[in-house]
Amino acid sequence: MNRPGTTNLLNILAACLHKRVEDVAHDYKNSGFKGLKEDVADSVVEFLRIPQEEFSRLRGEQVYLVQVADEGSRRAKELSNETMRHVRDRLGLC
């Protein structure tokens, strides 16, 4: 197909519906561009609904987010300390 805009919409719709692009293209072969755009918009909104709900829920859990950040920081320090021990050992600085 030599219509990049339509191809892009078909790819997006196929990804949102977990279908093959060829199957989605077949479903829309006799449809207008407007209907395809509307279906893509609806599908993207629905595809992102659950992650958006989860994101909103997590944003409200400040204590949990601080715990996750603290644990990530602690783990990053452990890993960087271990890496620096290896570097110093290799350079003969220990």
Q: Compute the average pLDDT of residues 38-54.
A: 97
- Asked if pLDDT for residue 57 goes beyond 90, the answer is yes
CA distances from 65 to 31, 56, 58, 91 (A): 46, 12, 8, 38
Q: Compute the average pLDDT of residues 28-45.
A: 93
pLDDT of residue 71: 97
pTM to 2 decimal places: 0.64
Confidence of residue 2 (pLDDT cuts 50, 70, 90): confident
Distance CA 38, CA 46 (A): 12
Kindly state the helix (H) or strand (E) to which residue 54 belongs, with its residue range.
helix 33-59
- Asked if pLDDT for residue 1 goes beyond 70, the answer is no
